[in-house]
Amino acid sequence: SAVISQKPSRDICQRGTSLTIQCQVDSQVTMMFWYRQQPGQSLTLIATANQGSEATYESGFVIDKFPISRPNLTFSTLTVSNMSPEDSSIYLCSAEAGARADGELFFGEGSRLTVL
């Protein structure tokens, strides 16, 4: 399985500020994803982080609000811009481990953001 490290693990942020979450995978992976999870609820896919090109966003999510970088095959960042209390959530990085996996995703520990 792939090991995924995320930071920060949690943060408390002020309204109107931006925060960047980092995701590091211990091996090269083809696909990386960013999910949002409201506490105790299911996962919603924000976007697919594509290496070398712009991220692919799901309906309801836009690049201006959630810019994503993917500079190489092991690293990605998600920025939550101009935060409001509605952005308080857990943000999860995940990856498909390619040839070492058979369809499943692996997840980081999550970044719990609280916006005041």
Least separation in angstroms between CB 16 and other proteins: 27
Kindly give, in sequence order, each residue whose CB lies less than 8 Å from that of residue 101, ignoring residues fewer than 6 positions away: 1, 2
Least separation in angstroms between CB 40 and other proteins: 7
Least separation in angstroms between CB 43 and other proteins: 5
Q: Which residue's CB is nearer to other proteins, number 80 or number 107?
A: 107
Structure token digits, residue 94: 């995940």
Sort strands 89-96 and 31-37 into parallel, antiparallel or unpaired. antiparallel
In 3D, which of 26, 4, 2 has the Cα closest to residue 97? 2
Residues that bind other proteins in the complex, under the rule CB under 8 A: 1, 4, 6, 31, 33, 40-43, 45, 48, 56, 58, 92, 94, 96, 102-110, 112
Query: How far apart (Å, rounded) are the C-alpha atoms in residues 97 and 80?
Result: 25
Looking up tokens 């949002």, which residue turns up?
Answer: 36
Q: Which residue's CB is nearer to other proteins, number 42 or number 53?
A: 42
Q: Which residue's CB is nearer to other proteins, number 32 or number 80?
A: 32
Least separation in angstroms between CB 107 and other proteins: 4
